[in-house]
A and B are shown apart, each in its own frame.
Chain A
């Protein structure tokens, strides 16, 4: 086990920069998830950590040692690939034991390492099968088994769940998290799915366009997003973003560009007069009589909650309600907004003010 550190890491493909100076510190035993939209450089960063891509500038350290010049096999890391990268001509047991076979480990030694790993992942009855004979979830587990057998300094996961169906994904999510709690190996995990990031990570690194937008614990990112990008990326359904300005008379009132007045808990005087964006999470509103009038556009009941898209003034607002709602599209309901849970962003810089 080891800590991992990225210090001003940069990467260009030709003249095209993809990683533009990334600093991340990962503590020993931490489960860190790199999350961001496709093309943000998160996979490239992971591959640089693995040694599969060159580092154009900056330093990557594993356990305090700079690994820039080290070949992948010298870094003592194990990686689970998106397509699993199982060796198709080897049985499950041989796949898991491959690294040991290369080191010419004895049969007894291989057995000693492979067996418990297979046990943990429930692969014991499948050890003699070939990858083609396994289901997606089983292959996923073999890929993890291969990593566990290595007992490496760091585990790397490159979008490991994206080839699985929705139900299996939820199950594997819990399995990976449980595995980490059991092995306590430093883990770096890449995904574009913010739900995966929120549910599994100790620490999330939100990336966008080759830069780190924010680093923090899952709920920290949810409650205190640093900017518009993080606010819109974390949380599902996404945060509502409404353009407008503070009311000149009071910092506690927000006037949307469409003339609707929304409540604000507190705002600095300096925010007055500037173009702002009002951030409101769908779950931070309730339906009351005599609230802000909102016209129902679409209503989606899911059983435990009801999602509703409404028109407030001219802006579309998504709401998630835990009450049963009998409204029909076209009708008007009253909204009560939890003012203390709202955000204000600078429309120009995207930075959060409140």
Chain B
């Protein structure tokens, strides 16, 4: 008699355990809760705020696309868009160029190879704010080591106004971003380079390929899938950069280095215009989506990667 209820409970539990869908949903629950609370809700809230006139300390009311209309006529916003695109474009190209070059060097048989590989990661592991502070000193209007060195060499007469002149400031923050971003690109591409079998290079050199031809016909095409992933991430990181600008220039001089992320913060938090700040942040989404789509199509398996067993 006492056995019956236990047996029943077992079978009920058994039915659920046997249903893969139910078990699957059950195990997905923690991750789903986490994603909804910390990603979907804030994102949704941000989009919603973009359609309100919320200010700090005051719930906004729905005002439709008024914020966006205001932004469309806001020269500072367009300056930030221009800066962001320029910043992302130039920094990504430089990071790719230097990163690939560095990866190729590190892929050769060098003495102390693993030491160099480790050291190359340093800019990446140093907290951004710390390296930005160091750059702040390097770019200081009076005490810059670059100005000092050039003056000692007799190449210039006075210190360079790194962060005070709009174009100098843009170049300076791009240089700092490139310095910080190269390791990620270099190490990822190095990993990609190491998947290319040595025998392919040997076969190509027997086929009469010069060093450049081996790079052009073997290395580069075989590296494209990795390049697509790495550069997508690099572009996303650069486009949404905030810390470096905030420490170095705070968007100045005269908004010349404001990126969309810093402008959004500036308007939303210190400026108190939550709705407008949110609208600027939302305006970044199309750009990010475009770069993700670009990589999605770039990442699709190429024809030569399909078929076969191994």
Residues on A with C-beta less than 8 A from B207 are: 73, 98-99, 102, 146, 150
Question: What is the CA–CA distance of A231 and B310 in the complex, to the nearest angstrom?
Answer: 40
Min CB distance A234 to B, Å, is 29
A83 at the interface (CB under 8 A from B): yes
Q: Using CB atoms, name the residue of chain B closest to A79.
A: B206
Residues on A with C-beta less than 8 A from B303 are: 130
Question: What is the CA–CA distance of A73 and B302 in the complex, to the nearest angstrom?
Answer: 30
Residues on A with C-beta less than 8 A from B221 are: 89
A134 at the interface (CB under 8 A from B): yes
Complex partner residue of B208 from A103, A130, A133, CB under 8 angstroms:
A103
Given the known inter-chain contacts A83-B199, A87-B200, please indicate yes or no for A73 contacting B205, CB distance below 8 A.
yes
B208 contacts A99, C-beta separation under 8 Å? yes
A72 at the interface (CB under 8 A from B): yes
B69 at the interface (CB under 8 A from A): no
Min CB distance A120 to B, Å, is 19
A85 at the interface (CB under 8 A from B): yes
Min CB distance B305 to A, Å, is 7
Q: Using CB atoms, name the residue of chain B closest to A99.
A: B207
Given the known inter-chain contacts A83-B197, A88-B222, please indicate yes or no for A73 contacting B304, CB distance below 8 A.
no
Q: Using CB atoms, name the residue of chain A closest to B196.
A: A88
Q: Using CB atoms, name the residue of chain A closest to B307.
A: A133
A132 contacts B302, C-beta separation under 8 Å? no
Question: What is the CA–CA distance of A50 and B202 in the complex, to the nearest angstrom?
Answer: 9
Q: Using CB atoms, name the residue of chain B closest to A88.
A: B304
Q: Using CB atoms, name the residue of chain A closest to B224.
A: A89
B208 contacts A81, C-beta separation under 8 Å? no
Residues on B with C-beta less than 8 A from A205 are: none
Complex partner residue of B308 from A77, A81, A133, CB under 8 angstroms:
A133
B218 contacts A72, C-beta separation under 8 Å? no
Residues on B with C-beta less than 8 A from A90 are: 304
Complex partner residue of A52 from B202, B210, B213, B307, CB under 8 angstroms:
B202
B213 contacts A79, C-beta separation under 8 Å? no
Q: Using CB atoms, name the residue of chain B closest to A76.
A: B208
Min CB distance A303 to B, Å, is 33
Given the known inter-chain contacts A72-B202, A79-B203, please indicate yes or no for A98 contacting B217, CB distance below 8 A.
yes
Contact with B along A25-55 (1 / 0, CB 8 A): 0000000000000000000000000111000
Residues on A with C-beta less than 8 A from B302 are: 89
Q: Using CB atoms, name the residue of chain A closest to B310.
A: A132
A132 contacts B206, C-beta separation under 8 Å? no
B204 at the interface (CB under 8 A from A): yes
Q: Using CB atoms, name the residue of chain A closest to B303.
A: A130
Question: What is the CA–CA distance of A52 and B204 in the complex, to the nearest angstrom?
Answer: 11
Interface residues of A in 63-99 (CB under 8 A from B): 71-73, 77-79, 81, 83, 85, 87-90, 98-99
Q: Using CB atoms, name the residue of chain A closest to B302.
A: A89
Given the known inter-chain contacts A85-B199, A85-B200, A87-B200, please indicate yes or no for A77 contacting B304, CB distance below 8 A.
no
Residues on B with C-beta less than 8 A from A81 are: 199, 202-203
Complex partner residue of B197 from A52, A85, A134, CB under 8 angstroms:
A85
Min CB distance B190 to A, Å, is 20
A85 contacts B202, C-beta separation under 8 Å? yes
A102 contacts B202, C-beta separation under 8 Å? no
B299 at the interface (CB under 8 A from A): no
Min CB distance B218 to A, Å, is 7
Question: What is the CA–CA distance of A193 and B80 in the complex, to the nearest angstrom?
Answer: 69
Contact with A along B287-310 (1 / 0, CB 8 A): 000000000000000111111101
Min CB distance B188 to A, Å, is 20
Question: What is the CA–CA distance of A196 and B234 in the complex, to the nearest angstrom?
Answer: 52
B304 contacts A89, C-beta separation under 8 Å? yes
A77 contacts B206, C-beta separation under 8 Å? yes
Interface residues of B in 201-229 (CB under 8 A from A): 202-210, 213, 217-218, 221-222
Question: What is the CA–CA distance of A133 and B203 in the complex, to the nearest angstrom?
Answer: 20
Question: What is the CA–CA distance of A311 and B305 in the complex, to the nearest angstrom?
Answer: 57
A132 contacts B305, C-beta separation under 8 Å? yes
Question: What is the CA–CA distance of A81 and B221 in the complex, to the nearest angstrom?
Answer: 21
Residues on B with C-beta less than 8 A from A89 are: 221-222, 302, 304
Q: Using CB atoms, name the residue of chain B closest to A77.
A: B206
A selection of 22 A-B contacts at a CB cut-off of 8 Å is A52-B202, A72-B206, A79-B206, A81-B199, A83-B197, A85-B203, A87-B203, A88-B304, A89-B221, A98-B204, A99-B207, A102-B207, A102-B208, A102-B209, A102-B217, A130-B306, A130-B307, A132-B307, A132-B310, A133-B307, A133-B308, A146-B207
Extra contacts besides A51-B206, A52-B206 (16): CB < 8 Å:
A77-B206, A81-B199, A81-B203, A85-B200, A85-B202, A87-B200, A87-B204, A88-B304, A98-B207, A98-B217, A102-B209, A102-B217, A130-B303, A132-B306, A132-B310, A150-B207
